[in-house]
Amino acid sequence: MTALTLSTAAASGLRADAIVVGVAKGAKGPVVAPGAEAVDKAYDGALAGILETLGASGGEGEVTKLPAPTGFKAPVVVAVGLGAVPEKDDTFSAEALRRAAGAAARALAGAKKAVFALPITDAADAGVLAEGAALGAYAFDAYKENGKDAKNGKAPLAEVTLLGGKPRDAAYKAALARAIAVTEELNRARDLINTPPNDLYPEAFAAVATAAGKEHGIKVQVLDEKALQKGGFGGILGVGAGSAAAPRLVKLSYTSSKATKHLAFVGKGITYDSGGISLKPAGHNETMKCDMSGAAAVFAAVVAAARLGLEVNVTGWLALAENMPSGSATRPGDVLRMYSGKTVEVLNTDAEGRLVLADALWKASEEKPDAIIDVATLTGAMVLALGNRTFGVMANDDAFRTAIVEAAEEVGEESWPMPLPEHLRKGMDSPTADIANMGERMGGGLVAGLFLKEFVGEGITWAHLDIAGPAFNESGPFGYTPKGGTGSAVRTLVRLAELTAAGDLG
């Protein structure tokens, strides 16, 4: 993990491998951003012109390297694009700062230390820059020789110092501490998502959660296959029936003595999804280790809440199973009796996420939390609707859905409110069981949300986040987002917990 520090020292006197400055896209060419005044002065005020000569425009994420001016202890200046120059009396958005810091950190892979002279007007800016740097520097190298990327032989940037951040100021210290806690847990979620399924199966994931619980004072309860059978968790058991790796239901409980509210987070944790008997075709199963991204997000958010000492009780439920075909696997046409007592006709074994979530949602409902939020890589239909960078938000309460979308926007995650049209419920009617696990093909993401709604306790506020699009980035990295597991929804869940603790949510 990249070390993060604050400093008010002069840029020229700090020993580092590089100094990072911001450059914005102006009407007549690149404009040097606030924070880089001392660096620009050392170039005799000509930094913008030099960058333009080198082809820089200030566009978002653009990175340009040039030799540092005489008298600086760092040998290189790295100019990172912040996008358009803000309107008069306005400042760069938090997300623009976060993305720029991420792009710079990734470009400096292999360096030991970098000094970031980017715009900081208050403690909040310092926090988002720290987030961007820590998330952008991320690399999954657990399976690489000597912990380095085999392609370029470079380890992640080891240390970042944020200039303009006041190291003795309480607000700045708190912002940095929050950024460290959230990004460390988000990057842990990324590690879990990227871990191959032969090493991350339900029992192994449960062991990771148990170890984290001991470290951070979180109570962890693990229901193994015997406990699941005794409890009647037909959905989780039905999905895991075809695998040699038995399913688990993990409960993580963070409690605060000052809490007056209780949130429950429920995560889909399919550690590998072959589709089961309804087997996925070649080209659709190679990245299915990521089908536990919802559980990873829930796990990370609960641990982050504990590390931050939030005054809210947060319970995380990880519904863990591996969906495989075999002689013991659930077949299309089978009927499962769920933990709630309802029966479900399984028409497609590749619609398995909703089955494990249904059991976990009903179990979570028994505790009567103030709200339940489930997170899942649930449907390809949501990807078709919203693309690869935006998650859908459904809820049984419009105001709650709006609050989640606003919280996501606040922390830099793209989301979109989606409806739950009641007319789509009829498509899941079954002549054999209480409900089928499939309905109309059109609007499949909404159908899945309606299915889950059936398993939420009466009177409980609930929302469903379908992160199928942004959970796993199969294209190139951008901003602070790497290729592979992204940790989607972690920051939104943490923010919702913070808002609840402050009495600003529900």
Q: Which residues are catalytic?
A: 280, 354
- How many other C-beta atoms are found inside a 10 Å radius of the C-beta of residue 333? 10
Ramachandran region, residue 59 (left: φ > 0; alpha: ψ -120 to 50; beta: rest): beta
Q: Which residues contact 416 (CB under 8 A, 6 or more apart)?
A: 386, 390, 391, 392, 393, 405
Distance of CA 128 to the CA centre of its chain: 15
| DSSP H or E run through 77 | strand 76-84
How far, in Å, CA of 183 to CA of 101, rounded? 13
Q: What Cα–Cα distance (Å) separates residue 244 from each residue in 207, 296, 328?
A: 17, 22, 10
Q: Which residues contact 76 (CB under 8 A, 6 or more apart)?
A: 17, 18, 19, 65, 66, 67, 68
With tokens 């008997």, the residue in question is: 277
How far, in Å, CA of 278 to CA of 325, rounded? 8
